[in-house]
Structure 1
Amino acid sequence: MSRTLVIKLTAGAEEPERANQAFTVAASAVAAGATVSLWLTGEAVWFAVPGRAEAFELPHAAPLTDLLTAVLEGGQLTVCTQCAKRRNLTQPDLRPGTRLAGAPTFTEEILTESTQAIVY
């Protein structure tokens, strides 16, 4: 049976270790063959804007851009609709492959059987 991992990241560059941990776990789960859905909320939505992940640095951590690429290639990256609107971001502002969705979609994902949800 395949398991799904839904990760919600609520921190941006202001909390680099927490942000990096969410991306590391998401990319590791993709590499392990899990179905992965990474949700970016609050200040984390900026990582979905081209150039933002590339500017992020954390010593002794994998480059965030590599982790983000792994998630985009093997999982689903979602930006919170309300969070994006509060920052005047629209779909064209986001990386290709990123979707905008809200609480109903998140709730549906986490209530699916064989799903593990984690919030960072």
Structure 2
Amino acid sequence: MTQTLVVKVTAGADAPERCSQAFTVASTALANGADVSLWLTGESAWFALPGRAAEFDLPHAAPLPDLLDTLLASGTVTLCTQCAARREIGPDDVLPGVRIAGAATFVEEVFGDGVQALVY
């Protein structure tokens, strides 16, 4: 049975170390064979937009665009519905592969068998 990890990232440029840690843990879990679902909430919602991850800079951290590309290619990346609405982000605004979904989808994911959820 494959392990599943759901990571909810609530931080963005406002808390760069916490943000970077979430993306790094999610990408590392993918590299170790886990199924990974990354949720962009709060200030991390901006990373669903083209070019925004490239604006993020944290010394000695893996580049956020690379981590996001890995997650988009091999995992699931979801933008919180309410977070998107508060920032006036619509489905046509986000990077290819980013879905917009809400609490019901998040709860369904984290209540699955063998799921570990982390919130940063």
* Percent of matched pairs sharing the same residue: 61
Scaled by the length of structure 2, the TM-score of the pair is 0.99
Query: Within 5 A, what are the aligned runs for 1:3-82?
Result: 3-82=3-82
Deviations 1:95-119 (A, max 9, x none): 0000000000000000000000000
Moved over 4 A (4+): none
1:92 Cα deviation from its structure 2 partner: 1.0
Structure 1 unaligned runs (5+)? none
Distance 2:3 2:95 in 1: 26
Counterpart code for 1:47: F
Deviations 1:65-107 (A, max 9, x none): 0000010011000000010000000011110000000000000
**Matched pairs, number:** 120
Query: Within 5 A, what are the aligned runs for 1:77-116?
Result: 77-116=77-116
Distance 1:96 1:65 in 2: 14
Scaled by the length of structure 1, the TM-score of the pair is 0.99
Structure 2 unaligned runs (5+)? none
RMSD: 0.5
1:17 Cα deviation from its structure 2 partner: 0.3
Counterpart of 2:92 in 1: which secondary structure? helix
Deviations 1:45-78 (A, max 9, x none): 0011111101110000110000000100110000
